[in-house]
Amino acid sequence: MSQTLPGTAKPPVPTNYAQDAFSGFLVFLIALPLCLGISIASGCPAVAGVFTAIVGSLICALISNSELTIKGPAAGLIAIVLGAVTEFKDMGLSDLEAYRMMLAVGVAAGVIQILFGVLKIGILGEFFPLSAVHGLLASIGVIIFTKQFHVALGVMDVQGGPFRQIAQIPNSIRNMNPEIALVGIVSLLILFGMPLIKNPIIKRIPAQLVVIVVAIAMGLWFHIAETHEYRFAGNNYLLNDKYLVSVPDNLFKAITTPDFSALQKWVAWKWVIMFALIGSLESLISAKAVDLLDPYKRKTNMDRDLLAVGVANTTVAMIGGLPMISEIVRSKANIDNGARTRLSGVCHGLCLLVFVSLAPGLIHEIPKTALAAMLVYTGMRLASWKEFAHMQHIGTEQLIVFVSTLLGVLATDLLIGIAIGIVVKLMIHLYRGVPFNSLFHAKHEIEYRPDGATVIHVDRSAVFSNWISLRKKIVHHGITLGQPVVVDLSKARLVDHTVMDKIYALQSDIAAQGLSLTICGLDSHVHLSSHDLSARRLPKQ
């Protein structure tokens, strides 16, 4: 059996600048609370994330060819930023000193991302096994949830790692500030409830905007800004403006410069590596996902996009901003609202700039617990039980790698956690008979047929760790030389899920350019699960 997708012409992109501007405005309404919440959750000033979105929207629009991707701070990087800030504070530094050292780490990581783009190694994003990536994202979801759940209840001082944070949940429920917790609970009800409403008009209203409006109204009703005590169920509780978002009256006063003495400390370089590798990986994954959603089938140059993100990250860290990635939730909202070009992203950044400059007092009325509720919601979606079920559906080995990565991150850190997931995946491949010498290089033979097609006969294995070498051959013959390509997998003992997923995605990309990639030789392989893209292996002889 073979499969070839026919080439499809890209639909023309109609110009509608008004629609782009309108979409940018709607994305701004979603982005503002998320930027503020991510900043606070990262242990940084609230305005830091706004800086990131503004700079990212302007610089990346000039450098990247990605039309619909929104750049900005992401929940997936909270664990890294907060980890860096916390580790610097543990050295006896003040909040400001730790923040400035984190900015120096951000500058160094941005420079590394620039080098990634210049040296055209964006393809490294193709290396990581999908189950490990999903495990990484799920672990970040757990970290966000366990940290922000306490804040959503009005308990601000819970310290420690993810397992300690989980253990403290019952204590936070007992000690919650009822009025503050009510704001958080109502916010969560809105976030979970609005997607269930089928009315098309209501569905166009961003749930985050409704949360902010309702939370501000509740904050005013409870007089949170005024220091006072109230009594509930026989206990006294204190309210004051520490429960509200704090932003400077003048945006320029918030500009903070890095302390480059941080780079003299070895510990800083651990965080530089995490920022550069994990930030780049998340950004590449998100950019690819947005390309699949683009109604005009445009493809992002990943190296160019990584260069843009690196330049923007270096720039924004120089003025006090958080690291950024291509952000999929805001990008999807951008597409759903009818955006056609990168002008929508620029407009979203300009709206943020104008609002934060002219209305800092209104931002100060936002209860932190509402922002924490948004992040709790995000964390629960990243670590949803559906992710576990999805991994199990693809194959038990995928679930093992997924859980290994998740637990590895929670027990150690992001970098070690994903390394654990990769090692577990390699061990499973060796157990299943993949020769060690084919783990990192796809053994193959090239056949040139009289009809002009190039046949790549893959031998021994096609797995995540040798996918890059196989992909290079396919791209060289199929795109660079424009030849019809046939990939014959009949002699591959194992074709893992990552390769199954990526090779059919590459087939779609090649077909979209009017070219041909045929995949054959899988008829004799045994599916390792009922999933269409599950791993396949040859039966033992």
The answer to whether residues 232 and 100 belong to one domain is yes
Task: Read off the DSSP letter of residue 244.
Answer: B
Q: Do 359 and 456 share a domain, yes or no?
A: no
Tell me which residue range forms the domain holding 501: 437-537
Close Cβ partners of 523 (under 8 Å, ≥ 6 residues apart): 1, 490
Give backbone dihedrals phi and psi of 114, rounded to 5 degrees, phi first.
Answer: -60, -45
Q: Are residues 273 and 341 in the same domain?
A: yes
Contact in structure between 391 and 399 (CB atoms under 8 Å) = yes
* Structure tokens given for 306: 């990584």
- The Cα angle at residue 276 between residues 334 and 379, in degrees rounded to 5: 50
> Is residue 427 one of the residues assigned to a domain?
no
Please report, as a single letter, which amino acid is at residue 351: C
- DSSP string computed for 419-448: HHHHHHHHHHHHHTT--GGGSSS--EEEEE
Which residues are paired to 404 by β-bridges? none
Assigned token pair, 189: 């009800």
The Cβ of residue 135 has, within 10 Å, a number of other Cβ atoms equal to 31
Is residue 462 situated within a structural domain? Answer: yes
Distance between CA 2 and CA 522 in Å, rounded? 8
* Same domain (yes/no): 445, 368: no
pLDDT for residue 355? 94
412 belongs to a structural domain: no
DSSP result, 120-156: T-GGGGGTS-HHHHHHHHHHHHHHHHHHHHHHHTT--
pLDDT tens sequence across 283-318: 988 887 888 788 887 888 889 999 999 999 999 999
Question: What number of CA atoms fall less than 13 Å from residue 56's CA on the CB side?
Answer: 34
Looking at the structure, do residues 474 and 353 belong to the same domain, yes or no? no
Reference 105, options 315, 283, 263, 279; nearest CA is 263
| Residue 2 lies inside a defined structural domain of this protein | no
Residues 64 and 180 in one domain: yes
Q: What is the number of domains present in the chain?
A: 2
Residues with pLDDT less than 70, the chain: 1-14, 541
User: Among residues 272, 284, 289, 279, which one has the least CA distance to residue 324?
Assistant: 279
346, 451: one domain = no
* Same domain (yes/no): 320, 467: no
- Relative to beta strand 485-495, strand 517-520 is parallel
* Same domain, yes or no: 374 and 454: no
- Reference 297, options 335, 334, 259, 254; nearest CA is 335
Enter the DSSP assignment of 321. Answer: P
Element counts in the chain: helices (H) and strands (E): 21, 11
Q: Which residue has the tokens 């932190």?
A: 368
- Residue 227: inside a domain, yes or no? yes
* pTM confidence score: 0.85
Both structure tokens of 98:
């730790």
Q: Are residues 61 and 207 in the same domain?
A: yes
Which candidate, 367, 370, 372, places its Cα nearest to that of 148? 372
Here the tokens at position 523 are: 């008829």
Q: Helix, strand or coil for residue 491? A: strand
Radius of gyration for the alpha carbons in the chain, expressed in angstroms and rounded: 24
Both 449 and 361 in one domain: the answer is: no
Beta bridge partners of 231: 236
Final residue in a domain of this structure, among 363, 380, 397 = 380
First to last CA, the chain: 21
| 18 found inside a domain | no
- Is 27 within a domain? no
Beta strands in 228-315 (DSSP E): 228-232, 235-239
CATH number for position 484 = 3.30.750.24
d(CA 71, CA 342): 11
Residue 203 domain flag: yes
Residues 68 and 149 in one domain: yes
